[in-house]
Amino acid sequence: MIVSKTGYNLNSTVNFLNTSIEELRKKRFKDKNTVDKRTELYLKESLDSIRKKLDSSAAYLNYLKVSEKLYDITNRDEKSLERIKELEAKKADFLSKMNSLRNIRNSVDSRNFDKMISPSAAGFDDGMFSASVSELKALYAKKRELATIYTPNSEPIKEINRLINEAMTNSSGSLRNVYNVYTSEINKIDQQIAQASSELSTYPEKQRKYLDAERGYNMIEATYNSLLNRQNDSKMRLATNQSDITVIDPAKNLGQAPIGPNIKGTKMAIFASLFALPLLIILLGSLFDSKIRNIKELVSVTRIPLLGVIGNNSTDNMLTVLDSPKSSVSEAFRGIRANVRFLSGEDNKSKVILVTSSVGGEGKTYVSINLASVLGLSDKRTILLGMDLRKPKIFGDFNIDNKFGISNYLTGETSIDQIINKTNVPNLDVATSGPIPPNPSELLMSERNIQFIEELKKIYDFIIIDSPPVGLVADSYELMKHSDANLYIVRHEYTEKYMLKMITEKYHNDEIKHLGLIYNDYVAKQGYGYGYGYGYGYGYGYFDEDKNYKEPFLIKLRNKFKAILNR
């Protein structure tokens, strides 16, 4: 075993190690002497007890000789008697050792280690047993210490109890193995004695009585001699005892170089930590981030065509195309208008464009209003239908009364002309949702609604349907069967990734045709400050919002470095 210690002073550390080992040697030597003294005392007490039995047996044997006049038994089978005497002497030795073994086992079971005798008194020397007993002593001492701090049901006490049970199992196993060996040997001896005694049954009763008494005396004498031999061994060990710890190479001061601190290693560890920490933060952020945060991620997750990217609307007004026609957001809607025509096809027929999203708040109605406005401004007869019957919205932005709407028409209360409203946008009409009905799904999927759309196709070039979110209800999936183009709105840093799973599966399983994505409310955190629109690359001042644009400090610094490198 190698014992080592680190410290701040070499001489102090060397002295501490050597002193500690020396004290440990003394402690182990003292413990061995204590055990051997207890063993000697135990053997002495056993000898005193056996001596009394031996004297009593001798007196009885003499009594038989005198009273029965059995001084000499003729025709004795001396060979069988000597064999029996030898076997019974062995049995007496094993029985004596088993008594010592029981004494040791009782000491272990009762935790009375201070009175436990040496295993040599029981005729065995098992290193595993000695190690288990030493471990039990240490564990019980530790438990007494923990008991002053923790409650009986606390985890530290439970753990120490588990370790005690393991050590008890090991020690009991060692004793049980020795006990089984002794029992097996005694059983063999009993069989041999029985065979040797079978020939003595022919002796007269008085002679057999004397022979039995003589055998009893011989067994007690053998037990006495066995204990006496073990007592002599114990005295010899006590006289020649040495510590079982031998120091092969003591600690020395050889002018060793310090092992720490490892300045170079510490510096490398610090630099590695500083480098790894941002990567770890990014990794954890990406693992736990469930929202769509960039265009590349959106396209790679869905593999659905991206029709356009719409920037953040910084105003409360949803009519961005009308109020800010030169803004990047307005330009983005114009780009979407062109892409929608490619998606739906150019056949000079009326086009039905359905707009939906995963949940509310992603900008579905905002996109519907502004896309309809862009189409109307391009001299196309357009109507915007508020078919999100559960959550009417569009009437407020156009200052239209929502008293009569699509829900009234679908229930047969009004005609088409009564629900169509003119707006300030040229060529743009609006049919609001109307009062919230008790059965919106049935109305939207009814044959009357399909006929309603077919009637509008005869009047308008484009029909924009602001439909319910597909993540909440399935109405939009039914309406998609009658549309020419379907726009799915995904909001930057708002839409959850898992929400796109259903629409993606339906698209790739060909359950939905003519589907395109609109990435809404996008604000790039690099570039020249906006990054939305549709990637046109216009210079500063092209859009209205560029008038108040201030280039960020980091962007200025980056541009200066680029300018220096390009010289």
The DSSP secondary structure of 39-79, one letter per residue, reads HHHHHHHHHHHHHHHHHHHHHHHHHHHHHS--S--TT--HH
Residue 538 banded pLDDT, cuts 50, 70, 90: very low
Mean per-residue pLDDT, 473-485: 89
Specify the pLDDT at position 355. Answer: 95
What is this structure's pTM? 0.50
**pLDDT value for 336:** 92
More confident residue, 427 or 252: 427
Question: Has residue 543 got a pLDDT over 70?
Answer: no
Per-residue confidence (pLDDT) for residue 546, from 0 to 100: 42
**pLDDT number for residue 178:** 86
pLDDT at 352: 94
CB neighbourhood size of 16 (10 A): 14
Q: Walk me through the domains of the chain, giving residue ranges and CATH numbers.
A: 10-240 (no CATH), 295-565 (3.40.50.300)
Confidence of residue 5 (pLDDT cuts 50, 70, 90): confident
pLDDT score, position 533:
37
- Which one has a higher pLDDT value, 374 or 190? 374
Question: pLDDT tens across 351-389, in order?
Answer: 899 999 999 889 999 999 999 999 999 999 999 999 999
Asked whether residue 103 carries a pLDDT value surpassing 90, the answer given is: no
Hey, what are 457's tokens?
A: 């196709």
pLDDT band at 534 (very low <50, low <70, confident <90, very high): very low
- The predicted structure's pLDDT at residue 186: 85
Say if CB 182 and CB 147 are below 8 A apart.
no
Q: pLDDT band at 541, cuts 50/70/90?
A: very low
Residue 528 DSSP one-character state: T
* Residue 529: predicted pLDDT: 36
Nearest to 449 by CA among 391, 410, 408, 405: 410
The overall average pLDDT reported for the chain is 80
Q: How far is CA 389 from the centre of its chain?
A: 47
As beta bridge partners, residue 519 has 309, 490
**Per-residue model confidence as pLDDT tens digits over 298-344:** 998 899 999 999 998 877 788 888 888 888 899 999 999 989 888 87
Placement of tokens 């589907």 in the chain? 515
Of 37-46, 176-185, 377-386, which gets the smallest average pLDDT? Answer: 37-46
What pLDDT does 547 receive? 45
DSSP output for 418-440: HHEEE-SSTTEEEE---SPPS-H
Give SS3 for 356: strand
Q: Is 361 helix (H, G, I), strand (E, B) or coil?
A: coil
Looking at per-residue pLDDT, the higher value among 184 and 255 belongs to: 184
Lowest mean pLDDT among 138-152, 194-208, 286-300: 194-208
Helix (H) or strand (E) holding 238: helix 205-240
Please tell me the predicted confidence (pLDDT) of residue 530: 36
Helix (H) or strand (E) holding 518: strand 515-522
Are 43 and 183 in contact by the 8 Å Cβ rule? The answer is: no
Q: How many percent of the chain have pLDDT more than 90? A: 25
Specify the residue for token string 């604000």.
523
Under 8 Å between Cβ of 104 and 133: no
The SS3 call for residue 351 is strand
Instruction: Give the pLDDT score at 194.
Output: 77
Q: Assign 535 a pLDDT band (cuts: 50, 70, 90).
A: very low
pLDDT (tens digit per residue) in 383-412 = 999 999 988 888 888 888 888 999 999 999
What pLDDT was estimated at residue 306? Answer: 93
* pLDDT at residue 531 in the model: 37
Residue 153 DSSP symbol? T
Task: Please give the residue that has the higher pLDDT: either 207 or 249.
Answer: 249
Mean pLDDT in residue range 447-459: 93
- The 3-state DSSP composition of the chain as helix, strand, coil percent (nearest 5) reads 60, 10, 35
With bands split at pLDDT 50, 70 and 90, how would you rate the model's confidence at 70? low
Q: Mean pLDDT, to the nearest integer, of 559-563?
A: 57
Mean pLDDT value of segment 283-297: 80
The stretch 118-143 carries a mean pLDDT of 79
Quote the pLDDT of residue 241.
67
Asked if the model's pLDDT at residue 221 lies above 50, the reply is yes
User: Residue 235: its pLDDT value, please?
Assistant: 75
> Which band of pLDDT confidence, cut at 50, 70 and 90, is reported for residue 243?
low
Q: With pLDDT > 70 as the criterion, what percentage of the chain qualifies? A: 84
Count other Cβ atoms within 10 Å, centred on residue 313: 17
How much is the pLDDT for 524?
65
CA–CA gap between residue 419 and residue 421 (Å, rounded): 6
pLDDT of residue 562: 53
| Residues 498/365, Cβ–Cβ less than 8 Å | no
Q: Residue 234: what residue type?
A: S
- Please state, in angstroms and as integers, the Cα–Cα distance from residue 247 to each residue in 22, 24, 243, 290, 518, following that order: 9, 11, 11, 63, 81
For the beta carbon of residue 456, count every other beta carbon within 10 angstroms.
19
Contacts of 362 (CB under 8 A, 6+ apart): 469, 489, 490, 491, 494, 495, 520
* Statement: residue 488 has pLDDT above 60: yes
Which pLDDT does position 537 carry in this prediction?
Answer: 32
What is the per-residue pLDDT across 409-425, written as a single tens digit (0 to 9) for each?
Answer: 999 999 999 999 999 88
